[in-house]
Amino acid sequence: MKKILALVLSLALLISLCSFSVASADELVDGKFADTKKITVEIYNRFNDGGTDPTNNPYTDYIKQGMLDKYNVEVEFVSIGRWTEVDDINNALAAGDAPDVCVTYSYPTVQTYADMGGIINLNDIGGKKLEEYKDLLPNLWNLLGDGNIFYDQDPDTGDLWAIEAILAENARINTFIREDWLAKLDLPLPTTEEEFHDALVAFRDNAELLLGDDASHMIPYSTSYDVAWRNDHLFAAYIPDAVTDEELFINGFDDRHLLYPNFKEGVRVLNKWYNEGLVWKDFGEYPSGDTTEDNNMKAGFVGAFQHNWDYPYRNGEDSIAAALKRIDPDAAYVAVDCFKNDAGVYRKFLASSVDRKVFFPATNDEPLASLLYLDFISSPETIALLQLGEEGTTFNKLDNGAYEKIATTGDWLQNSLNNIDYTITVNGLYLGEATAETTALGYEGVDSKYIVSALAASKNEGRVPYVYHVGAIAAEAEYGTSLPTYRDTLLTKAVTASEENFDAVYDQGLDDYMANGGTAITEERIEKLAQYYGYTAE
């Protein structure tokens, strides 16, 4: 609390000492500022081995020159740690030196600082609503539409603290299994939970056949400290198919779905597998960013796992798929659908097409230039350049219209898949009709059949819960950033508990989660749902 109070006071003092002049559209001559403006823009630093400087490379050069030529705006990129982004942004906001254009995956961070007066209300820029700048922002509007632009608008006050980037490809999680191990054991691709479990047992019991001298390293099924994300398909199968959109909204503030009905029974299955010796026993010891698990996969020790829809195929020669090929040309992970719910559906709960949140700190005294920046990076031409690079250097265009990427080193190397760290208004390939074929070709050294099947499996029988627009949830701003720690701790302890202690451990952890904000958030969501949509709890 002392730290939070100090941040609040320092932010309030900073804002009180500053006065900002807001540029108006009247300053634009033929769409361009007469006097050069300067803005700073957040860019994630992933600290990739062999990566490029995220603030200085051909992609940043393109943006800088483009903004200068089109708008007479100088752009400077500011590095923010990808894996420490919430803390880094918190500190930058409190110190008053946050970039003019900020991006985060955490809306509670946005709301917290909005409540402190540390973020610009996008519906009050120079006394104008954002809608009044629409004619100056055609690319932004064409890309995001009213739905994403006004997604976070408060229904009472009209306040708008951030706009939501669009998730171009609404794929989420996949279940991966060693195709070659199944073949060696004469097992089919699993299509049910029972068949999947049987395959894990077979991997465990045939470790010497599959791994030889490395048999002691056998991990039939791997997961991580982020238990809910990494076992999403398994857990989703235990959510009743008849669950209502209202229930999903009330309990869905956590994108890991912890409070969805019957979620606990999915966790119970994973606990059972753990006690059967099927799950990596040390998974809870390694934090975000640690590479131990990936190294186990690359070494060929892991039989199956759930992760982001294309996880084993990412990063070219440094991918899990490439590492396996170097061990055995036949080794490969393939995506499978195994987990049916009570209606016999391979249910996936997919997010709405919103992604990262883009906002302007109160210290930004060039909001119009910042809006024009968002429009520039949202144009189809800019998106294509940032996602593809330079023809002949990073890609070749094929006769069917698809773009085939070329293995790249040096300055043109992308630090993030499809350069999403620069395309902050869109996540995922956005190349019109060429998108699907290009996606399948975009994984160096990976047979396109694996990408096609993975993309299909990740969305098969998916459900996107209805989006209720009820304005800010105050309890989420207060507790939203701390609850994930309670969730991850609860699930790690529950999975690794003995079977006889599972219920006690899980229930105690859930009680802690609810007492430390979960109850407050769900109760406020019920109240807001009743206020704006007439919801009545049964």
Tens digit of each residue's pLDDT (9 = 90 or more) over 480-524: 989 999 999 999 999 999 999 999 999 999 999 999 999 999 999
* pLDDT for residue 11: 53
Query: Which of 10-24, 110-124, 483-497, 510-524 comes out lowest in average pLDDT?
Result: 10-24
CATH number at residue 225: 3.40.190.10
Task: Tell me the average pLDDT across 150-154.
Answer: 92
Give the domain range for residue 223. 173-349+465-533
Q: Which residues neighbour 511 within 8 Å (Cβ) at sequence distance 6 or greater?
A: none
Query: Which of 84-93, 189-198, 241-250, 357-366 comes out lowest in average pLDDT?
Result: 84-93
Condensed to tens digits (0 to 9), the pLDDT of residues 356-414 reads: 999 999 999 999 999 999 999 999 999 999 999 999 999 999 998 889 888 888 899 99
- At 363 the three-state DSSP class reads coil
Condensed to tens digits (0 to 9), the pLDDT of residues 330-346 reads: 999 999 999 999 999 99
Contact 54, 415 (CB under 8 A): yes
Q: Which residues neighbour 50 within 8 Å (Cβ) at sequence distance 6 or greater?
A: 318, 409, 413
Q: Which amino acid belongs to residue 135?
A: D
Same domain, 376 and 259: no
- Mean model confidence pLDDT for the chain: 92
Same domain, 75 and 133: yes
Contact 230, 306 (CB under 8 A): yes
Flag whether 504 is in a domain: yes
DSSP annotation of 468? P
Q: Which two tokens stand for residue 108?
A: 């509670």
Same domain, 282 and 303: yes
Flag whether 420 is in a domain: no
* pLDDT for residue 7: 52
Same domain, 343 and 372: no
When divided into structural domains, the chain yields a total of 2
Model confidence at 21: pLDDT above 60: no
Band the pLDDT of 23: cuts 50, 70, 90. low
- At 288 the three-state DSSP class reads coil
* pLDDT for residue 18: 46
Same domain, 186 and 271: yes
Condensed to tens digits (0 to 9), the pLDDT of residues 260-309 reads: 999 999 999 999 999 999 999 999 999 998 999 999 999 999 999 999 99
Same domain, 154 and 181: no
> Nearest 10 degrees: CA dihedral of 372, 374, 375, 381?
130
Flag whether 388 is in a domain: no
Band the pLDDT of 22: cuts 50, 70, 90. low
Band the pLDDT of 452: cuts 50, 70, 90. confident
